Structure 1
């Protein structure tokens, strides 16, 4: 059941997916006034910046890359900038690749930040992959190194998908998918940042990968063991999200994070992917033992597996997996309250949340966890939280209702006491957002209101 672990203080990202055409559609309808008046973001603790439009991809510094137009604009290789050999640390294979790079403009953050998490959506056909790097600037004007935030491909035939844990300059460190300032209590913060994308393809290939979205979320969320209570909307609402249990898959494919017992993240991802009408095809799941039920969950686990982390709980890898399905976008973000979460659910967007708790802290769960993903699908009239909790014995029992105040606290706090009484980190409002790459008017309003667009 454990995907994110206490070594990661927070998960954050954002879903900037509205195209200019969609925004124009909204501005012509009744939703425009609500969008204009909606508060932009969860206050001063989180800042999001994503590049996803044709104009975005024209900006920045290109070395062999070019902006590609169309219904879903992206970044592609125009001509190779060079060749390099990559020795895969997880397979021992050495291969030569052509590459091209794009470096984003510098983004001046609205929030002096202690953490940063990158997200990306891309298509990587066989014989291609991408690397995502982030460089931040401290308040004194000095810069971090270019930290590798992921080496990623949708498949595992060319390279092994991997994070690079432990990169550091003595002031900040990369912990799997999160760049964190080492001693935030001392006041050190990141004031701006930029991304560098490197696209790889086999030498001589005509085409390479396409990146549709890339960016990051930075945050400076205060340490807190309890959070303020939000006011429920008083409106019952529940989305019909497919139910999948990770426990059904216990013992299956232990090479992927020790099997289904640890698959809360990909199982939750698969539920939301299928809510949006997408599903792995028969060819994608042909490798799964035909005796196994729900082979698409096994496929999700394999498709999110991080060979360095040795697990399926890498947050951006899950969002990137969701975006491999046609017309879906996915990122990781942080929300400020259950009111934010309710607004998204009412707009038709289920939300995958990360939380950790002792068994007695979440009534009805029946277990404790150092880190677990579940999918919020609705709210009762009293404001209690309706979830699809993959840590359930079978698919029918996945739907649960948790007490609002308990759920809000275990999800939003950044500090907690574990079973041994030791103070450890909490998730701090971390969640995954998966939605159509061109969201509808009500979805745009909700995403703007929580600071994602």
Structure 2
């Protein structure tokens, strides 16, 4: 069996194939006409089963085992370096620079997932002052009792002056692999599943300093992904629209091409910036001083730079976007999956907009005007007919960002786990993946709905 490539490689191949076919898309990702004779759809299966487990309370941190770490108490307790447990050299693969770092570690208790999983995605909330960074790893056990290796899920810093934040490719034991930001069982049809896991944090700082990262939240979403090309239709249950700022990624086309060819590929950071500002946060003038004068919405450029994954060579690393949002004052975030539009309605009802990931052909989403092998947009509400109101960054300008998409079409492209591409080949769907950002002190109603999904 061939080792799976990263989502970046898959996306690049899809774009190249579409370009060869003469496809064009305002969103950057591939667009093409439907195959003349698409294979018949497989029967619908059940929704992905999801287990969320996050460590963020004082009790949570104390339940893990640390070497050199301690818990910083407070309203939002976090993990910090108490004393160095050791020193190590790290050669940054993207700069070639080797530096020595002090480190301390914390390992979570083993979490036995309520869902024997085919996929696991970790996410975290941390502050990393200059001179510090963190590494996140996952190790688990399969359903046959065998262990996985320790997999690196990310090497992350809020800035880019000390290390280049990066995913790590070419990690596999022949049974599972890391696809950029996702642990995945290689052959789900075999019945093999991940039944438990633990996470390990390593906190790094400049030797001899008193600097420290502070990690306020870490956890993972484990899920079992069914093969389904279509999903059951849900019943509309909410009429509401949240007032979320509107930003177009296409306004930034050609800007800062070192960050994944500029704005045409910035759907994820543009969506993140919309919701960060919905919650009343934004970068300061000092934060934006590096952006060329005169550019519209410089905060979108800022979001692209500081979500950029130097290995993936893109701004679409899911946990990196969530981590970026949580660098803002009193913000929390997570990457998870939802099982239905009803779940999404619960969040909108509580005032929480949702960033969703989906792939579709142009004709599968009426009014989009493009097709894509991977795109993020922000769901902000529902109409009286139950249709989805989305801030779609793949729009010509900010005014055009607000879209209304047909409920049934949108429901299917977001929640399905299998799809056909323009050549009739079977590809994966994201199966309800989304990012959630919320205030660290949510309202009682927001707390209830977040807790119902296992996020608090």
TM-score with structure 2 setting the length: 0.90
1:146-170 CA-partner distances (Å, limit 9, x unpaired): 1000000000000000000220011
CA distance in 1, matches of 2:261, 2:47: 39
Determine if contact 2:380/2:390 at 8 Å carries over to the other structure: yes
CA distance in 2, matches of 1:437, 1:115: 27
CA distance in 2, matches of 1:389, 1:210: 33
Deviating 4+ runs (over 4 angstroms): 3-8
Q: Report the Cα offset of residue 448 of structure 1.
A: 2.8
Seen in structure 2, the aligned counterparts of structure 1 residues 114 and 334 have a Cα distance that, compared at 3 Å, is same
CA distance in 1, matches of 2:280, 2:157: 23
Q: Which residue of 1 aligns with 2:315?
A: 312
1:13-55 CA-partner distances (Å, limit 9, x unpaired): xxxxxxxxxxxxxxxxxxxxxxxxxxxxx98711011000011
TM-score with structure 1 setting the length: 0.90
1:161 aligns with 2:172: no
Which residue among 79, 82, 96 is the counterpart of 2:83? 79
Determine if contact 1:90/1:307 at 8 Å carries over to the other structure: yes
Which residue among 126, 132, 135 is the counterpart of 2:136? 132
Q: Which residue of 2 aligns with 1:220?
A: 224
CA distance in 2, matches of 1:209, 1:194: 21
1:98 aligns with 2:102: yes
Residues 53-452 of structure 1: matches in 2 within 5 Å?
Answer: 53-233=57-237, 235-452=238-455
**How many aligned residue pairs are there?**
417
CA distance in 1, matches of 2:420, 2:8: 14
CA distance in 2, matches of 1:4, 1:347: 32
1:136-195 CA-partner distances (Å, limit 9, x unpaired): 101122111110000000000000000002200111000100010001100000110000
CA distance in 2, matches of 1:136, 1:171: 12
Consecutive unaligned residues of structure 2, counting only runs of 5 or more, are: 1-5, 12-45
Determine if contact 2:105/2:202 at 8 Å carries over to the other structure: yes
CA distance in 2, matches of 1:4, 1:150: 15
Determine if contact 1:6/1:371 at 8 Å carries over to the other structure: no
CA RMSD, aligned part only? Answer: 1.4
Q: Report the Cα offset of residue 71 of structure 1.
A: 1.6
CA distance in 1, matches of 2:205, 2:454: 35
1:209-257 CA-partner distances (Å, limit 9, x unpaired): 0000001111002010000111101x42000000000000000000001
Determine if contact 1:5/1:371 at 8 Å carries over to the other structure: no
Determine if contact 2:360/2:372 at 8 Å carries over to the other structure: yes
1:62-121 CA-partner distances (Å, limit 9, x unpaired): 100011101210000000000000000000111000000001100001011011110000
CA distance in 2, matches of 1:224, 1:395: 35
CA distance in 1, matches of 2:336, 2:384: 26
Residues 28-67 of structure 1: matches in 2 within 5 Å?
Answer: 45-67=49-71
2:306 counterpart SS class: helix
CA distance in 1, matches of 2:48, 2:376: 26
Q: Which residue of 2 aligns with 1:39?
A: none
Which of the pair has the greater relative contact order for Cα pairs under 8 Å at 6+ separation?
A: 1
Seen in structure 2, the aligned counterparts of structure 1 residues 451 and 381 have a Cα distance that, compared at 3 Å, is farther
Determine if contact 1:4/1:314 at 8 Å carries over to the other structure: no
CA distance in 2, matches of 1:114, 1:426: 14
CA distance in 2, matches of 1:286, 1:278: 17
Q: Which residue of 2 aligns with 1:13?
A: none
Determine if contact 2:256/2:262 at 8 Å carries over to the other structure: yes
CA distance in 1, matches of 2:48, 2:306: 34
Which 10-residue stretch deviates more, 50-59 or 155-164?
A: 50-59
1:389-427 CA-partner distances (Å, limit 9, x unpaired): 000000010000000000000000000011111110011
